[in-house]
Amino acid sequence: MSRRIFGTDGVRGTVGKEPMTAEFAMRLASAAARVLVPEGGTVLIGKDTRVSGYMFESALEAGFVAAGVDVLLLGPLPTPGIAVLTQDFKADLGVVISASHNPYHDNGIKFFDGHGAKLTDDVEKAIEEQLAHPAITVPSASLGMAKRIDTARRRYQAFCASTMPGNLTLDGLKIVFDGANGAGYKVGPRLLADLGAEVIPIGCSPNGRNINAGCGSTQPDLLTTTVPAVGADIGIALDGDGDRVVMVDENGGLIDGDQLLYILATSRHASGTLKGPVVGTVMSNLGLEHALREQSIEFRRASVGDRYVLEALRESGGTIGGETSGHMIVLDQTTTGDGLICALQILAVMKQSGVPLSKLAAGMPKYPQTMINVRVSKKMNPDDSPAIRNAVASAEASLRDSGRIVLRASGTEPVIRVMVEGRDENIVRDLAQQLADVVAEAAG
């Protein structure tokens, strides 16, 4: 289904350019209200730490209130926290103002329904159709009201803590926490400290413009050097809105989403609590698939995007899935990707087993994988280009059965992602560059 405004994770773009303007945000709120809460109701609005969040928060508030919807303003809180609190407050809709791992000059708007789930394609299409109409203002007697909620962070923190098994604590663990100067900058360190860990925070001083800048899950270099330097047991890095997580072992080694998925899957398999298949994406490392197969754990691939991982989990009866980027879903604990909850599940495995993170991840070989992002001037489907199709066929023939090639258009950025994976790093790197050159030429 073609959607003009919504991408794979809500609406996103550069602040001040369509669609990320205050005027559009107000119209979007009005359209969402007409589709999802036409008789009035309650909507929660949360955000990350971008300076533009104030502008979009006010615009969304105005659009919803004018449409007769009450608004609860939660302030900075991880995206999954909005999903949790939408259910906790029995609200009709949750709204998140965030561009996730993007730089501060971008922003985005995404929605959760009353069950804490992301909207379906059909609902998003219905909202887009309503955008063709002006924003509405109901009679004064029917206007919504808005108020700020001061307990949001504590309520979400309590929910996260409740996912730890039994009476397990983090006593004795020294953790470096990187909040990406984003939405998890406050709740992350306080959650870990309250569970008994010694916490060293970095990337926890947001100023509105430093979100994801030299920190967080997309730029974890500072974390990889800090963990061994301070003798920590583990490092945890969220992205700007807190729905992704990567970790660093005691030696400074980066542990990505594929490895985290491997640890969760094998731990649950060993304890007999793993349900259904494990779900990754077309970008998940081939080493993950092979390592799980050796332990007779079923593995399935979904399209890139946590919404598609979630759909595959629900269809198959599985409970854990995720992406290489660290967008992890633990479906028996929450409804959407949650970096903090995933991190707690990994910390629980470490505490219960007494095994350091480096050894827990060692059972999964990582095949060499090269990813090149080719910027394009407009959206394009690489499969539509004969030149690209021929180049991919030639590269696949040279890899034979020892690797994979994936080309896909990003749902959030004007880029074509070229991924090549195989046993020989030099071959993988060369093929990726060759394909990227072909894509760049085809894109004009």
Collapse the DSSP code of 73 into the 3-class scheme (helix H, G, I; strand E, B; otherwise coil) and give the result: strand
Whether residue 314 sits in one domain with residue 240: no
Whether residue 303 sits in one domain with residue 269: yes
Nearest alpha carbon to residue 80 among 340, 287, 401, 307: 340
In a domain, 139, yes or no: yes
Whether residue 328 sits in one domain with residue 307: yes
Whether residue 328 sits in one domain with residue 228: no
Q: What domain range is 54 assigned to? A: 11-152
Last residue of a domain, one of 336, 361, 386: 361
Please report, for the domain that includes residue 384, its CATH number. 3.30.310.50
What pLDDT sits at residue 412?
Answer: 67
In a domain, 352, yes or no: yes
Q: Give me 129's structure tokens.
A: 């159709």
Last residue of a domain, one of 126, 152, 178: 152
What pLDDT sits at residue 381?
Answer: 86
| 103 secondary structure, DSSP code | -
Cβ atoms within 10 A of the Cβ of 338, count? 31
Whether residue 271 sits in one domain with residue 249: no
In a domain, 342, yes or no: yes
Please report, for the domain that includes residue 38, its CATH number. 3.40.120.10
> What is the domain count for the chain?
4
Nearest alpha carbon to residue 343 among 228, 204, 175: 175
Whether residue 98 sits in one domain with residue 66: yes
Whether residue 279 sits in one domain with residue 233: no
Mean pLDDT by 10 residues, the chain (444 residues): 73 96 98 96 98 98 98 98 97 97 97 94 95 96 97 97 93 98 98 98 98 97 98 98 98 98 98 97 92 96 90 96 96 94 98 97 94 87 91 91 86 86 92 95 85
In a domain, 2, yes or no: no
Buried/exposed 227-245: b ≥16 CB within 10 Å, e otherwise: bbeeebbbbbbbbbbbbbb
339-353 and 257-271 helices cross at what angle (nearest 10)? 50
Distances in Å between the Cα of 388 and the Cα atoms of 379, 406, 440 are 15, 12, 10
Nearest alpha carbon to residue 303 among 284, 318, 278: 284
Give dist(CA 218, CA 182) in Å, integer: 12
Q: Give me 41's structure tokens.
A: 């109701």
What pLDDT sits at residue 409?
Answer: 86
In which order are the strands placed within the sheet that holds 70-76? 11-14, 106-113, 93-97, 42-47, 70-76, 146-148
6: left (phi over 0), alpha (psi -120 to 50) or beta: beta
Whether residue 391 sits in one domain with residue 428: yes
In a domain, 6, yes or no: no
In a domain, 58, yes or no: yes
What pLDDT sits at residue 56?
Answer: 98
Last residue of a domain, one of 207, 232, 254: 254
What pLDDT sits at residue 1?
Answer: 37
| 327 secondary structure, DSSP code | B
Give dist(CA 385, CA 335) in Å, integer: 38
Q: Which residues are catalytic?
A: 100
Give dist(CA 88, CA 96) in Å, integer: 16
Q: How many residues does the chain have?
A: 444
Whether residue 394 sits in one domain with residue 355: no
In a domain, 244, yes or no: yes
Query: Tell me, what amino acid is at 277?
Result: P
What pLDDT sits at residue 273?
Answer: 95
Give dist(CA 112, CA 98) in Å, integer: 13
In a domain, 299, yes or no: yes
What pLDDT sits at residue 2?
Answer: 44
Whether residue 148 sits in one domain with residue 17: yes
Whether residue 135 sits in one domain with residue 91: yes
What pLDDT sits at residue 32?
Answer: 98
Parallel, antiparallel or unpaired: strands 106-113 and 93-97: antiparallel
What pLDDT sits at residue 380?
Answer: 82
Query: Tell me, what amino acid is at 322?
Result: G
Q: What predicted TM-score, i.e. pTM, was given to this entire model?
A: 0.90
Whether residue 40 sits in one domain with residue 135: yes
Residue 406 is inside which H or E element, if any? strand 403-409
